Amino acid sequence: MNGEGPGEAGAAEADAEPNGAVGARPASPSPPPDVSAAGRRGRRPGSGDTRGRVLDSARAIFAERGFDGTTIRDVAGRAEVDPALVHHYFGTKQRLFVAAMEFPIEIRTVMPAIAAGSPDQIGDRIIAAFVGLWDRPEVRPTLLGVARSATTDPVAAAMFRGVLVDGPLQAIAGLLGTPDAAMRATLVGSQLIGLAMARYVAELEPIASMRADELAPLIGPTLTRYLLGDLGAQPGSSGFPGSAPNGPVR
């Protein structure tokens, strides 16, 4: 860990060396106030695409190292800008993380493919959609950055829950009309989080190299049971805490 907690990536990084720049030359008698670091050796001045370049660099490093393993100086170095410019645009590392991890697509666009077809194979379709989403090159860096950071940063953990459980899975479970929809969505989410960690973060073989159509028959039936099957004896007559009263399982 680098000592930066959520919401903390203050000016300490930018001030770690004189003038807030790596390898900065001694200040001239009357230096112009320029947060873009124009004219400093090894750093590009600010331009119209500077903010986008910083976000691209941050997205890549967060995906590689997670929140705790990333510093403002790392991001600035890869983007070839002064760290002060990153602070100028985003203020803190936490705000930079949130901006860089903005999801590039609307997650609910994958729901029609999941909802269509036989309910008995809905788990297989969830796996196909999940793996297909992660394997998209414009999506994977964002999901990797969130996944690697979720274990140490509460904001990243909330984003991970939002992508997997609080949004699409809750909606799918609700549409199926089975009791205890919230519990069922959470159980499916637990399987998907485990799959994401094994396949994309830990890169466990052979899971990491298997195609979606190979994974679906192995994991899909478990997801289908979570969504449609009998979850077994439940404490009390009203199901799990916070769930709807028990009813017939379709």
Q: Is 160 part of a structural domain of the chain?
A: yes
What's the total number of domains in the chain? 2
Which two three-digit tokens encode residue 6? 């959520």
* Domain match, 124 and 96 both: no
* Domain match, 6 and 60 both: yes
CATH number for the domain spanning 67: value is: 1.10.10.60
* Domain match, 6 and 82 both: yes
- Rounded CA-CA distance 51/57 in Å is 10
How far CA 32 is from CA of 11, 40, 85, 89, 160, in Å, comes to 20, 11, 15, 19, 43
* Domain match, 91 and 176 both: no
Q: Cβ distance 83 to 20 under 8 Å?
A: yes
How far CA 163 is from CA of 69, 210, 225, in Å, comes to 22, 23, 21
* Domain match, 115 and 222 both: yes
Q: Is 205 part of a structural domain of the chain?
A: yes
Q: Is 24 part of a structural domain of the chain?
A: no
Which two three-digit tokens encode residue 103? 């999801």
* Domain match, 49 and 136 both: no
Domain that residue 76 falls in? 1-17+42-100
- Position 41 scores a pLDDT of 42
Task: Say if residue 9's pLDDT is above 50.
Answer: no
Question: What's the half-sphere exposure (Cβ side, CA atoms, 13 Å) at 209?
Answer: 2
* Domain match, 118 and 223 both: yes
Looking at residue 209, the DSSP 8-state letter turns out to be G
Can you tell me whether residue 124 is helix, strand or coil? Answer: helix
* Domain match, 95 and 168 both: no
Nearest alpha-carbon partner for 93 in 20, 197, 2: 2
* Domain match, 222 and 174 both: yes
What is the DSSP secondary-structure string of 137-168? TTTHHHHHHHHHHTTT-HHHHHHHHIIIIIII
State pLDDT tens for residues 124-136: 999 999 999 888 8
Q: Is 203 part of a structural domain of the chain?
A: yes
- Rounded CA-CA distance 200/210 in Å is 12
Q: In percent, how much of the chain has pLDDT > 70?
A: 71
CATH number for the domain spanning 201: value is: 1.10.357.10
State pLDDT tens for residues 194-216: 999 999 999 999 999 999 999 99
Q: Is 72 part of a structural domain of the chain?
A: yes
Q: Which pTM was predicted?
A: 0.64
* Domain match, 115 and 221 both: yes
Sign of the alpha-carbon torsion through 229, 175, 179, 187: positive
Number of neighbours of residue 23 by Cβ within 10 angstroms: 10
* Domain match, 75 and 127 both: no
Q: Is 83 part of a structural domain of the chain?
A: yes
Among 54, 79, 100, the domain boundary falls at 100
- Rounded CA-CA distance 136/175 in Å is 27
- Position 113 scores a pLDDT of 77
Q: Diameter of the chain by CA atoms?
A: 80
- Position 48 scores a pLDDT of 58
Q: Is 170 part of a structural domain of the chain?
A: yes
Task: Say if residue 161's pLDDT is above 90.
Answer: no
- Position 233 scores a pLDDT of 52
Among 83, 100, 117, the domain boundary falls at 100
Residue in the block written with tokens 């860096």: 141
Helix, strand, coil shares of the chain, percent, nearest 5, are: 55, 0, 45
Q: Is 50 part of a structural domain of the chain?
A: yes
* Domain match, 123 and 86 both: no
Q: 237: pLDDT confidence band, cut at 50, 70 and 90?
A: very low
- Rounded CA-CA distance 174/138 in Å is 29
* 37-51: average pLDDT: 54
Task: Report angle CA 71, 77, 79 to the nearest 5 degrees.
Answer: 105
